[in-house]
Chain A
C-alpha cells in the first residue's frame, strides 16, 4: 500500500489499532513507544513509507491522533520548529541519507531543532544576510551572527542559511545547511524578552566547520529552500487547530468573572468572538482546499489574522481583569523549553502575543507578500536589485 488511493480512513484506523495492540505504551519506555510509532508510519501519515509515514492523505492524521489519544506524545510544544519547519524542508530538499538520519529523532523529540535565519542586519530583508560559509575541501567554514533563535539552548541541530557567494545579487548567493549546534565555535547566549524570560537567543558562529553532507539543497539555491521553510512556518504559526485557543481562554475568564464585565468590553469581546469564528472557518476552508488538492492563497493570510486576533484578545483580557491586571505572574529570567502562546497568566499572554506579528515574517512583510504575490501589485523600487551583494551599500 503505497499510493494515496489505497489509504482510507478505515485502513489507517486498522493500522493504528494493530500498532497499539502490538505496542502497549504502559509496558514500554516512552521513547521506545514513539520510535515504534514512527517506524509503523503513524508519525505523520502524509510522509513517505520508511520516513514515519504511509504516503497517505494528510487529513488522515486525525484518525491516528484519535486512535492514539492518551498515549505518550512527542511534546510538540518543545519541538515545534523541527516539526513545522525543519521536517518539511528536509523532506523536500534533503538527500535520502539526510532524511534517514534526521527525521526519526526529530519527530520523537530526541533531537530538538532551531532556526538560524535572522541576523542583526537581516530581519525582514532576510536575503541580505551576511553569515559567510566558505568551502574548504569537504567542509564549509561558517562565520557570522544569528539572532532571535528560539530554543537554541536546547537544540541539537539548526536549519541555517549562509552566504556562499558574495559576488552575485543577494538572493542568488545563499546556501542552506543543517548546522551542528554542538560543533566547536557555536556559542549560544540568551536574549531576555519583554516577558522576562529568554525563549530566544543570539548565536555566534566562529570558524564553525560543517561537513558538506550537512548542506541541504544545491549550492546557491538557499533562498528557494528557505522560502519553503518560511511558508511552512507561517502555516504552522497560523494554524492553531484543535487545541485551546486564545478566544477560549478569554471567554472562560469572561464567564467565570461576571463582576468584571463592562458594556464596552462586552461589545469588543463579541466583535473578537466573531473574528475568531471567521478565522476558524477560514482555516477549515483552507484545509478543505488542501485536502481537495487545490491549495488556495488564503494560507499566507492566516498568520496575519491570527497575530492581530491574539494581540487584541490578550490585551482585552488584561483590561478586563482590572486591578488584577496590574500584577504580573513572574519576571524571573528563565529559559523555557517550550513555547505556549496561551500559557501562564494574562499579562504574559499579552506580552508574548506582541511577538506574533514579528516572528516568522512581520505583518508588514506579509501584507507585501499578499499584495504582490496574490493581488499582483507591483513591488516597491529596490536599491539592491541586480547588483552583487558585496556592492550593496550598508
Chain B
C-alpha cells in the first residue's frame, strides 16, 4: 500500500537538498541573479545534479542514475519550491527525463540510453520543447515539423513559445510531426546545432523564465516515433501528466515557505501596541491557509505515490487512479500556492510590495505554476469524465 507519509530515506534526501540550498541559494543570491544574463543558476544545478544526484534520481541504475521514484523527486521539488531555486530540476530531471524513460519503454535504443546517461551524470541538461502551459489533456507538437534523414537522423523546423528551462538546456526534446501525415516523433536536438535559436522572453516568473525556441532545419536524432497524435496516451502526454503531478510538490513547498515566513513576520510586527498576529482577522486567515496546505500535502503525496506505483511494469493503481490523483493534486495545490503567496504579500504589508523582499519571487512562481501543465480548471474539467460528474447535456 502506498503511504502518504515520508520515509526515512526521503527525509534524508530532503535534509541534504535543504542544506545545500541554505548554503548556495539564499534569497539575496536569487534576487541578484534574476536580472542577470544567466537567470538559471548553473553552479547550483551542478552541485544538485552531481553532489546529491538529483539529475539522475529517476534514471535507472544501469544508466548511471539512482533508480528512485516519483516520491523522491517530489521531496526534492518541495525543497526547491521552498527556496524558489532557479534550477532546471523540474524541466530536465523530471519532465524531459520522464519523456525519455517513456520512450525507452516504448522502444529501447542507444539514442535514448545515451541521452539518459548524459542527463544522469549531470553532464547535460534537457528540456521538453513544449510550452510550460501545455497540459496532458491537449494535443501538443503541431507547430513543429520534421523530415527524416539517414538512420535515426531528422531535420526539424518550427517555433515553440513558452519553453521553460530551454536557456540552460544542452538538448531539446522536440515533439514534431511529418507534414501532411498523421505521424509524429520525439526528436532530440542539441542546442549547439546550427538552426537552433533560443530567445529569452521577459517572463512573469523570474526564477523559471521561459523562452521562444526556433528551429530552422536543425538536425536531430529521433528518440521515439508515433507520439503526439493522441497526446493523452502518448509519451509527451505522459511526461506532462508526470510533471503536473510532481509540480504539486513544488507548490506545496512554496506554500509552506510563504506560510512560515508570514507567521514569523506577524509575530514580530507590532501595531496598536501588540503583535499583528494576535488579531483574529489575521489569525483566521493564516489558520485557513494552514488547513489548505495540510490538504495540499496529502494531495501532493498521493499524486507522487500514484505516479511512483504507476511506473511501467507495476501499474498498481491503474491509469484512471493515477489520472485522478494528478488532477486532484494540481486542481488543489496550484490554487493553494497562489493563495499562500498572495497572503504572504498582503500580510507583510508595504514590505511585501518591495523588490528587496523575496515574497514577490514566490508570488510570480506560484502564478506561473498555476498555468503550468494545465490550469486548475482544466484539471477539474478532466475530472468530470474521470470520476463521473458529467457536464450538462
Contact = CB atoms under 8 A, between A and B. Distances in A.
B389 A367 contact: no
Q: Which of B263, B277, B294, B381 has the most CB of A within 10 A?
A: B294
A273 B299 contact: no
Contacts of B383: 270, 273-274
Contacts of A304: 287, 291
Main secondary structure of the interface of A (DSSP, over half): helix
- B interface, how many residues as a size bin? 35 or more
A373 to B, nearest CB: 10
Interface string A371-384: 11011111111000
Given A368-B284, A376-B263, A377-B267, 19 more contacts: A251-B388, A255-B390, A270-B381, A271-B331, A274-B331, A278-B295, A278-B299, A279-B295, A281-B299, A282-B298, A298-B294, A368-B280, A368-B283, A370-B290, A371-B283, A371-B286, A371-B287, A378-B275, A380-B278
B288 interface: yes
Nearest to B384: A270
B5 interface: yes
Given A274-B331, A274-B380, A288-B4, A367 B278 contact: no
A133 interface: no
A367 to B, nearest CB: 4
A278 B291 CA distance: 11
Contacts of A254: 389-390
Q: How large is the interface on A (under 10, 10 to 19, 20 to 34, 35 or more residues)?
A: 35 or more
Interface string B378-393: 0011011001111111
Contacts of B286: 371, 375, 377
Contacts of B388: 251, 255
B380 A267 contact: yes
27 contacts: A255-B388, A255-B389, A255-B390, A261-B392, A266-B389, A267-B377, A273-B383, A274-B328, A275-B295, A277-B324, A279-B295, A281-B4, A281-B302, A285-B297, A289-B5, A301-B287, A301-B290, A367-B280, A367-B287, A367-B288, A370-B287, A371-B283, A371-B287, A375-B286, A377-B267, A377-B275, A377-B282
A381 B278 CA distance: 8
Nearest to B331: A274
B283 A367 contact: yes
Contacts of A375: 263, 283, 286-287, 290
Contacts of A376: 263, 267
B245 to A, nearest CB: 14
Contact of B267 (A282, A288, A378): A378
A364 B280 CA distance: 9
Interface of B: 3-5, 263, 266-267, 274-275, 277-280, 282-284, 286-288, 290-291, 294-299, 301-302, 324, 328, 331-332, 377, 380-381, 383-384, 387-393
Given A254-B389, A270-B381, A377 B283 contact: yes
Contact of B301 (A273, A274, A285): A285
Contacts of A366: 287
Contacts of A242: none
A381 B274 contact: yes
A292 B5 contact: yes
Contacts of B5: 285, 288-289, 292
A281 B280 CA distance: 28
A332 B98 CA distance: 62
A284 interface: yes
Contacts of A275: 295, 332
Contacts of A371: 277, 283-284, 286-287
B278 A379 contact: yes
B249 to A, nearest CB: 14
Contacts of A367: 280, 283-284, 287-288
Contacts of B284: 364, 367-368, 371
Q: Which of A263, A270, A304, A370 has the most CB of B within 10 A?
A: A270
Closest 3 CB pairs of A and B: A371-B283, A281-B298, A367-B287
A269 interface: yes
A264 B267 CA distance: 41
Contacts of B390: 254-255, 258, 261
A77 B345 CA distance: 46
A380 B278 CA distance: 5
Contacts of B263: 375-377
A262 interface: yes
